[in-house]
Structure 1
Amino acid sequence: MTTPPSPSRIDTSQAHPARVYDWLLGGKDNYPVDEAVGEKLPPEVRIGALQNRAFMNRAVAYLASAGVDQFLDIGTGIPTEPNLHQIVQGIAPSAKIVYTDHDPIVLRHAEALLVSSPEGRTDYVQADVRDPGAILDHARTVLDFDRPIALSLIALMHFVADEHDPYGIVATLASALPSGSHLVLSHAASDIFPEIAEQATEQYARSGMTLALRSRKEVARFLEGMELVEPGLVTAPEWFRGEPAPEPEPSGMYAVVAQVS
């Protein structure tokens, strides 16, 4: 287990996406300013957050069962059980996981993320996805870049505006991964429920946060040159492997697992 660095000061006067997401999931690690944003969002946004979390659980369990035992999770968010390492190490006890987030409140809870199985390892770095080089530099101190790695970008890239080159960020991260690696991606949609998407975007903007929702075609651009794992790019409740999928419920969240090299 790695000891995390000292947390930076947490600004409780400004809402933050990680804390709003925690509120949407029913968590307690948020502040009134975050709750105020969450309460003004359409109820479908909370449903989408829960669907997104369930997709993450299924996707990483699938990859761990398929033999992937190294995970780089960027945009980790506030710990919510089961955490990614708990799912993965429950299947592959020797798995290694590197968590990354830039919100100081996530760092404050990093000890919960660092409780690894005895055979495996978890690590945490405070970093911004907009600086992929720094993330990769740290990941190389923990993960073996000569073996497959799963890159997890769960409900993250819709907080990266086009001006920050989201496609270039994902391409940089994916191109650094060894052969046989995978991308696990979920992204809020702009084109499934357009009115709800517009309301959510406006609410985040009023609270000083960027929400860059994208269409299915725009999300597919993240996957160029990759081989999609069945069932491909679908909504979060539609993504199932190795078991009959239930009747899908409406969702404004796209989800996909793809082999990147």
Structure 2
Amino acid sequence: MFYWFMKQVMVGPLLRLLYRPWTRGVDNVPDEGGAILASNHLAVIDSFILPLVLNRKVQFLGKSDYFTGKGVKGRLTAGFMRGVGTIPVDRAGGKASEAALNTGLRVLGDGELFGIYPEGTRSPDGRLYRGKTGVARLALESGAPVVPVAMIGTNIAQPIGKVIPKPMRIGIVIGEPLDFSRYKGMENDRFILRAVADEIMYAIMSLSGQEYVDIYAATAKARLAAGPAATTPPASPVAPGGRPVPDVQVPEPPQEDPAPSVD
């Protein structure tokens, strides 16, 4: 009920007004049953814009710090995060990945949508980075389909370091579900996990038109933070999994109807 209230009454109308999200492929999201929405990650606002265009609730993971703040601001932040479907998870320590996996399995087991960013963190420069294998393990253990998603333009609306995104049109392109049932029971094979993760990232790349960098986004961020001599990592000559680079461009919003002329 609180999720519906936040989406339909409080946050949703404002976000729709400011960012006028355009979509392609929304019908690719199953009407019922558990499914994994695997998206590129360009900005914090990604987790708020994607649920706007879907009729079903989407749950993402969020840092537990968002839910433990003190005072009025802390309570408001925690309430907002819960209202938009964010699940708190402790990312510190060696059990962070296990906690995230178990949470995802629970959400999917309940027949709900679980949103995940295979890159693990926001892209530092708008390009697509290597996917981590957690999304593959989640897909194989749950048996749920993976729906690839491309967020378009959120990094322009909200560059890293910018708290309040600027108003502009934002796009969401959703691809056909990927079925990995052929790998059932092979979730402990690291080669299979890498192949599945690469297939998911290739699907995202084919939707987003992003340039691909074959290192982890966290590694790229660490290199860029090393100092003024740091260089931007080069793009990969091939797509995820060594595939040929797909011949796609960054999707454009649909042409808006011109305003009626006044005689």
Question: What is the TM-score with the length of structure 1 in the denominator?
Answer: 0.38
Which protein, 1 or 2, shows the higher relative CO under an 8 Å CA cutoff with sep ≥ 6? 2
Structure number with bigger Rg: 2
Question: What is the TM-score with the length of structure 2 in the denominator?
Answer: 0.38
